[in-house]
A and B are shown apart, each in its own frame.
Chain A
């Protein structure tokens, strides 16, 4: 066992109630899941009340707000749609995140049963369960997430090992490098171009 420095005697022991209030995280193996349940049918109503204004009635997303459903098999496409159904590897994350941080602007207001119901509805909206599906702490780990196997641990040190090298200093390219893409063509930079023009105008006409 490693040798540890002596203690300073600072802080005080955390009480069980305090730990219970703050330690809400849930791990992929279900550690941390509260006892409870909720079905997709009830979840649809809760979703309509608390979530649909941003995420859409069918979890398909409104405007720029996150889409929670759809996008199956698009991850290798030019513009992948990454949702709970198409991308998220673990259902634990959905429960954990919804319970702790949603609805946006009014987080930590849902009961555990409500969260189970909403998560069941999100699964339903991704065509992963039927509309009468009831999710509980008992059957939670039985749900199969389509992209559970879709992640690899950072492999840059091997797959990008060729970036450790002796850099080229002269004649590094054949021919003369040419401009092939320009930000000015897109012209989506906000304020800045305008801001600089305004600043130049001010500089030129600032008697007072």
Chain B
């Protein structure tokens, strides 16, 4: 079966993002960009399913500016077979992303659609659920285990009190949690090979999807800064201070 994996290019997780002084945006000029960590896990899972003989072809999809090609090349180097880039400089909200992915899925007809559970920039945690809704397929969100079995996919999900397992009819949308797997490192020869793999270019217009922004980001602000407090010398002093502020 065919698997489709959606990957997003985001500010690297180690970068501490700052808000511009005029509050108009966050400052992400010249910072390191990487594949969203949750999407790396989604790609890894697709590759493992292919290595296990369950998946025959992996199509990686990314949406956005030209440089998303780099992210797609990384996915190809990890083991995806080909890539689709829906190129646009527009700001894409999760609903628009879900609509674009739906349009790509209609062309590709995958049985398995793998995404990260959230992007570490907008922290929305919406796209997979929206895509499943638009395709009228089941969803296995926050997955920490995925097993293909008899025309169904068994997904173990991370929920607040522990874990739960659901069985989904195919085609199905799955969103990866951190615990699903440990993504492999990309080796140089694989990166070289990835340059030869096919990368198809599409546009939102070509797919007939309206991506007009619905939300207006009015301003950005730094979080309230916590100040470093005081050093205490020992446990007795700590207990005394906590009693003084009525924390215990």
A and B interact physically? no
Chain B positions within 8 Å of A, measured between CB atoms, are none
Chain A positions within 8 Å of B, measured between CB atoms, are none
